[in-house]
Amino acid sequence: MARTSEPVKQRINLMDKNLHFNTLAIHARQHPESTSGAVMPPIFQTSTYAQESPGVHKGHEYARVTNPTRTALENLLAGLEDATDCAAYASGLAAMDALLKMLRPGDEVISTHDLYGGSYRLFTQVFEPYGIRFHFIDLTDIALLKETINAKTRMIWIETPTNPLLSIIDIAGVTDITRRHGILSVVDNTFASPYLQQPLKLGADAVIHSTTKYLGGHSDVIGGAICTSHKEIIANMRFQTKASGAVPGPMDSYLTLRGIKTLAVRMQRSCDNAHKIAAYLVNHKDVGHVYYPGLSTHPGHRIAKNQMRDFGGMLSFTLKDDRVEKALNFMSQTEIFTLAESLGGVESLISHPVSMTHGSIPVEVRRKSGLSDSLIRLSVGIEDADDLIEDIGQALEKC
Ligand SMILES: *Cc1c(COP(=O)(O)O)cnc(C)c1O
C-alpha cells in the first residue's frame, strides 16, 4: 500500500471551469483536507492554534476569527453567490447585525414594507435607538424608491420574494438606481437561495442569508452569512467577526455545509411541489387569494421569470372567510404540514404570519401592507405533491 506524508494534492481549480450550479453546490472552492485526504472537512473542535513563534502559524490564530470548518463553509457559499468573500455567522440575524454595524448615526436605510418580522424588529428596536432611520416602502414601485432616496440614504435593503406576500422586487432595477446614487444595495436571499437567484450578478453589493432555511435545509441548525465582493463590506464584516464575534461553531458550520451539498435537488423538488399546490389552491372554492410568483396572474411573474431560475417553494394564501379563527382552525387540521415557524427544510411547514413570525409588526402597519387576518404561509417541502395536496384538501374540508 502506497503511503505518503505529503499533503493531498489539490485538484485543478474548479472555479476556472465554467461549471453549472448542481456541480458547484458540491465542489465550489472545496478540496480534500490536506493532511488526511478527508473528502468532507473535519469538525475542527478547537478554540486556538499552535504558533511556531509569535505571529508565525498555519493561517489560523484564534477560532473567533477563523476556523477551518467554517472557512470551508464560507468558501462554498462565496462560490455559490459568485462573491469573492463570505463570512458565516451564528444566525441570519447575527449576519444582518454585523452588516448593519457599518451604518453610523444619521444614516438612513430604505427597505420593503412586508419585511421578515425579525428583520423589522432588528431595524426598529436595535438600530433605530442608535440614530439610524429606516423607511419601509413598496420596493416594487421604483418611482416611489426614487422619491424616498435623500442625501442621507446609505443603504437599500431588499427581500425578494418577500415574506409572506411573495412580492417580487426587480433587483437589477433597484441596483441600477443605487449604483447611480452611490448607495449600498443588500439582498436578503434567504427565500430564493443562490440556486434560484444570484443577486450579486444583478448588481447588488451584498447578499445576506439565513442559512437556517434552504441552505441548511434540514431544520437542524441555525446560521447566517454575508456574501460580497465589495471591499468596504468585506473589511467591515471581517472586523465585526473579530470584534463582536457572533460566529457559528464548527459543528453548526459542518451541518450547514453538509446541507448545501443537496441544495439544488431539494430546491427543485420544493419548486415543483409548490407549483402543483398553487394550481390546486387557485381552483379551490374556499380559498381567497393565492400568492405565488409562479402564477401567470402574479404581478411580479414576469420579473421573477427574468431574475429567478424557478419560482420557489414558498406560497401564501387567504381563505374566502378571512378570519384569524378560520385560519387557525385550518392549520390545526393538517397532518403532514407541521405548524411551525421557519421554512426551507425537507419537511412541509405551515404558519400563520399574523400571529407568529409577524407578531412584532403593529396591527396598523400590518394591515396597510396587505397582511390579512386569514393569511396562511406554506413552506413546501420535498414530500410527494399528491400527499401534500390531499392533506390541504382534507383540512380545508374540515375547517
Ligand atoms: C429566518 C429569516 C431571517 C433570520 O434568520 P435566523 O437564522 O432565524 O436568525 C432573516 N431573513 C429571512 C428572510 C428569514 O426567513
Q: Which atom of ligand 1 is nearest to the CA of 211?
A: 7
Amino acid 115: pLDDT: 87
Using the mean position of ligand 1's atoms as its centre, give its distance from the Cα of residue 214 in Å. Answer: 11
C-alpha angle 39/45/47, rounded to 5°? 135
Decide if 9 is catalytic: no
112-150 as b/e, with b when 16 or more CB fall inside 10 Å? bbbbbbbbbebbbeebeeeebbbbbebbbeeeebeebbe
Specify the residue with its C-alpha closest to ligand 1, atom 1: 210
Point out the ligand 1 atom lying closest to the alpha carbon of residue 191.
13
How many Å apart are CA 315 and CA 334, to the nearest integer? 16
Contact 250, 45 (CB under 8 A): yes
The secondary structure of 100-140 as a DSSP string is HTT--TT-EEEEESS--HHHHHIIIIIIGGGT-EEEEE-TT
Closest-CA residue to 278 (of 258, 293, 256, 260) = 293
Coil, strand or helix: which one is 184?
Answer: strand
SS3 237: helix
Q: Kindly give the pairing relationship between strand 108-112 and strand 206-210.
A: unpaired
Query: Which of 343, 391, 365, 389 shows the shortest CA–CA distance to 166?
Result: 343
How many A from CA of 118 to the centre of ligand 1? 7
74 CB contacts (<8 Å, ≥6 apart)? 85, 86, 87, 88, 225
Ligand 1 centroid from CA 149, angstroms: 26
Ligand 1 centroid–CA 66 distance in Å is 23
**E strands within 250-389?**
287-291, 314-319, 338-339, 349-351, 376-379
- In the reported structure, the alpha carbon of residue 92 is separated from the centroid of ligand 1 by a whole-number distance in angstroms of 5
Ligand 1: nearest atom to the Cα of 224 = 7
What span, in angstroms and rounded, lies between the C-alpha atoms of 227 and 194?
A: 11
Ligand 1 site, CB within 6 A? 91-93, 116, 118-119, 159, 163, 188, 190-191, 210, 212-213, 222, 224
Q: Which atom of ligand 1 is nearest to the CA of 93?
A: 9
Q: Which residues of 338-365 are buried (b: 16+ CB within 10 A; e: fewer)?
A: beeeebbbeebbbbbbbebbbeebeeee
Residue 280 falls in the annotated catalytic set? no
Contact assessment for residue 207 and residue 199, using Cβ atoms and an 8 Å cutoff = yes
Q: Which residue's CA is minimally distant from atom 4 of ligand 1?
A: 92
Our answer to whether residue 116 is catalytic in this structure is yes
Per-residue confidence of the chain (399 residues) as pLDDT tens digits? Answer: 566 666 565 555 555 578 999 999 999 999 999 889 999 999 999 999 999 999 999 999 999 999 999 999 999 999 999 999 999 999 999 999 999 999 999 999 999 988 888 999 999 999 999 999 999 999 999 999 999 999 999 999 999 999 889 999 999 999 999 999 999 999 999 999 999 999 999 999 999 999 999 999 999 999 999 999 999 999 999 999 999 999 999 999 999 999 999 999 999 999 999 999 999 999 999 999 999 999 999 999 999 999 999 999 999 999 999 999 999 999 999 999 999 989 999 999 999 988 887 776 777 877 777 788 999 999 999 999 999 999 999 999 998
State which of 77, 89, 93 you would mutate to test the pocket of ligand 1, scoring each by most atoms of that ligand within 8 A of its C-beta: 93
Place of cell 448593519: 100
Peptide bond into 32 cis (omega under 30): no
Of the listed 89, 114, 116, 195, which one is catalytic? 116
Task: Name the residue with the closest Cα to ligand 1, atom 5.
Answer: 92
pLDDT of residue 260: 98
Which residue, 327, 316, 288, 82, is CA-closest to 204? Answer: 82
Centre of ligand 1 from the C-alpha of residue 98, in Å: 14
- Tell me which amino acid residue 202 is: L
- CA-163 nearest atom, ligand 1: 13
Instruction: Please state whether the peptide bond connecting residue 68 to the residue before it is cis, i.e. omega within 30 degrees of 0.
Output: no
Q: Which residues are CB-neighbours of 186 under 8 A, at least 6 positions away?
A: 99, 155, 156, 157, 158, 204, 205, 206, 207, 208
Considering 29, 70, 154, 213, which one is annotated as catalytic? 213
- Pick the residue whose CA is nearest to atom 8 on ligand 1: 92
Under 8 Å CB-to-CB from 193, ≥6 apart: which residues? 209, 213, 214, 215, 263, 267, 344
Say if strands 85-89 and 133-137 run parallel, antiparallel, or are unpaired.
unpaired
Rounded CA-CA distance 235/138 in Å is 31
Atom of ligand 1 nearest to the CA of 96: 10
Active site residue 188: yes
- In the set 97, 188, 205, 373, the catalytic residue is 188
Q: How far is the CA of 190 from the centre of ligand 1 (A)?
A: 7
Distance 54 CA to ligand 1 centre (A): 40
Q: How far is CA 354 from the centre of its chain?
A: 21
For each of the domains in the chain, give its residue range(s) and CATH number, in order of start: 14-260 (3.40.640.10), 263-398 (3.90.1150.10)
The per-residue pLDDT for 14 is 55
